[in-house]
Amino acid sequence: MVRETIRFWRQGQAIEVSGFHPRTTLLDYLRLQERRVGTKEGCAEGDCGACTVALGRVRGGRVHYEPVNACILLLGQIDGAELVTVEDLAAGGELHPVQSAMVEAHGSQCGFCTPGIVMSLFTLYHDGGRPLSRESVNDALAGNLCRCTGYRPIVDAALHVCGGQPDDAFATHAEQNVQGVEALADGQDIFIGDESRFFAAPASEDSLAVLYAQHPDATLVAGCTDVGLWITKGMAEIEKIIWLGRVTGLDRIEETSDMVGIGATVTHAEAHPSLARIDPDLGELMRRFGSWQVRASGTVGGNIANGSPIGDLAPALIALGSELELRHGDATRTMALENFFIAYRKQDRVPGEFVRRVTVPKLKGNEVFRAYKISKRFDEDISAAMGAFRFTLDGRRIAEARVAFGGMAATPKRAPETERALVGLSLDEPSTWGEAMAAIARDYQPLDDHRSSAAYRATVARNLVFKALSEAASGETRATRIIGQRDALQAAE
Ligand SMILES: Cc1cc2nc3c(=O)[nH]c(=O)nc-3n(C[C@H](O)[C@H](O)[C@H](O)COP(=O)(O)OP(=O)(O)OC[C@H]3O[C@@H](n4cnc5c(N)ncnc54)[C@H](O)[C@@H]3O)c2cc1C
Ligand code: FES
Ligand code: FES
């Protein structure tokens, strides 16, 4: 059975939409078709948060709300979800509690950013009665840019109103909303359009494999946080879109005592806890990945398949020795993750083949892992360089090393010369570490671009080798880090 519409839950009703252009963004739908213009367009590239809306999906028997950037989300991607926009918050002539808190704290001046900020606070308000700190509110608001009010009153408003049990119209109608959203899940494939232009959303891996084999020229979309920019900024005329968000099974995380298997459509927000359990540095990397909005939409599979030389996950997962699984038609194959990246934006993936999942080995007792994201800002910034290290120790000596960097070559790449130079080093003899630091220069010809010069990247990579060794030697991060200190993170767990 194929459905020719998308269906979502909005203001207590199921809405059905059809006949839209596959590239239609949610923001354009809201502003140009629904004519609800409370949701603003600022940057149109996922950075400012002015377009933030909430999507609700049922997990553990309740609707779980997450913020998303409507500017880089396709309309088709809201199938099966509850959509909440800023117009939906005030009820019965009363402002929503987060709106009242913003008024009381003087959290708005020109007001352009305010709808987006209110929607991020709405999702925080519903995030489930957990204690909030100024830092966690800052994290939640990292994807919302305010140019004139300043963040202090906005964070005050959040601290005042969020963190308790929600008490608004959405909490009152929680059961009705759960039933409404659950009733949307029919397990049918979606196909809207014709053979030359369509938005499709297969419900199973088999349907996906057949459809993609028939249309290998179609663009796969998972979270759309990369593809969205091709549309809004690159003006790419993508005519055939296959959205992976409804494919059963690709959203699964499997965990055993020695590995974590992450399905291609698992979002960064969903993968965060499992990765953080492997190592606190992976948790910190995920905390700093884009913004809450980007982590709620963007996927692990999309980050890998995109093949960006500055993507954050690939170097970390390569250093851990991860494997990638791909599927084409009925055939699946597995490869070491580093072998997937062939050349600049060229991956080992044949037409019609898709990424299925990545398997990440957990650390053994004698293994030490470190990952460092180097960017101009701590939050909501793409890396200039990203270095990851896994040392296997034999006592205080390095018996084996895996080192991978992003931002240092046309692809995420291992550092074989550095790895060789690290083997045999004693963690107690820093005077012998120089050769391993120097070897980085033979492994990479760094990128030279607006994010940083090649010379800066080369120096930073060399210094990161020293930093990883000295942290492995002492177990301390107080002297080597401004944020993301491992001892503080571990204490918080
Ligand atoms: C504001 C902002 C901040 C960002 N910050 C970061 C950051 O800090 N670190 C970072 O690394 N990235 C960052 N990104 C980039 C982006 O969010 C990530 O790369 C994200 O993981 C992409 O996942 P996605 O699901 O949105 O991919 P999509 O945009 O849906 O797809 C990306 C590419 O992968 C392909 N694809 C997707 N899934 C599959 C699959 N299963 N099989 C085969 N091909 C597939 C698509 O066809 C497309 O070519 C940021 C982006 C934005 C807009
Ligand atoms: S308009 Fe800036 S994030 Fe969408
Ligand atoms: S109130 Fe003007 S940008 Fe935030």
User: Which sequence spans correspond to the domains of the chain?
Assistant: 97-167, 189-243, 255-361, 367-485
| 329: pLDDT strictly greater than 80 | yes
Average pLDDT, the chain: 95
> Three-class SS of residue 9?
strand
Q: Does domain 189-243 have CATH number 3.30.43.10?
A: yes
User: Could you tell me the CA-to-CA distances from 192 to 12, 29, 97, 406 in Å, in that order?
Assistant: 25, 16, 39, 38
The dihedral formed by the CA atoms of 440, 442, 444 and 445, expressed in degrees to the nearest 10: 130
pTM of the model: 0.96
pLDDT tens per residue across span 341-387: 999 999 999 999 999 999 999 999 999 999 999 999 888 888 999 99
Burial class (CB in 10 A: 0-12, 13-18, 19+), 237: exposed
| 493: pLDDT strictly greater than 80 | no
What pLDDT is stored for residue 478 in this prediction? Answer: 86
> What integer is the mean pLDDT of 134-151?
95
Q: Rounded to the nearest whole angstrom, what is the distance from the C-alpha of residue 169 to the centroid of ligand 2?
A: 27
pLDDT tens per residue across span 427-485: 999 999 999 999 999 999 998 988 899 999 999 999 999 999 999 999 888 888 988 88
Protein residue whose Cα sits closest to atom 38 of ligand 1: 302
**CA 489-290-493 angle, 5° bins:** 15
What pLDDT is stored for residue 490 in this prediction? Answer: 63
| 145: pLDDT strictly greater than 90 | yes
Q: Which of 55, 60, 62, 120 is nearest to 81 (CA)?
A: 55
**From CA 153, how far away is CA 187, in angstroms rounded?**
45
**Amino acid code (one letter) for 314:** A
**From CA 209, how far away is CA 139, in angstroms rounded?**
38
| 72: pLDDT strictly greater than 90 | yes
Q: Rounded to the nearest whole angstrom, what is the distance from the C-alpha of residue 457 to the centroid of ligand 1?
A: 23
What pLDDT is stored for residue 487 in this prediction? Answer: 65
What pLDDT is stored for residue 491 in this prediction? Answer: 55
Residues 6 or more apart in contact with residue 425 via CB below 8 angstroms: 397, 398, 432, 433, 436, 469
Is residue 436 lining ligand 1, measured as CB closer than 6 Å? no
Q: What is the CATH number assigned to the segment(s) 97-167?
A: 1.10.150.120
Same fold for the pair 97-167 and 367-485: no
> 69-83, 123-137, 257-271, 418-432: which has the minimum mean pLDDT?
123-137
pLDDT tens per residue across span 228-263: 999 999 999 999 999 999 999 999 999 999 999 999
Q: Rounded to the nearest whole angstrom, what is the distance from the C-alpha of residue 70 to the centroid of ligand 2?
A: 7
**CA 354-246-199 angle, 5° bins:** 80
Q: Rounded to the nearest whole angstrom, what is the distance from the C-alpha of residue 311 to the centroid of ligand 1?
A: 8
Is residue 69 lining ligand 2, measured as CB closer than 6 Å? yes
Burial class (CB in 10 A: 0-12, 13-18, 19+), 142: buried
Tell me the β-bridge partners of 403: 389
Question: Are the C-beta atoms of residues 199 and 192 closer than 8 Å to each other?
Answer: yes
Q: What percent of the chain has pLDDT over 70?
A: 98
Q: What is the CATH number assigned to the segment(s) 367-485?
A: 3.30.390.50
What pLDDT is stored for residue 1 in this prediction? Answer: 81
The class level of CATH for 255-361 reads alpha beta
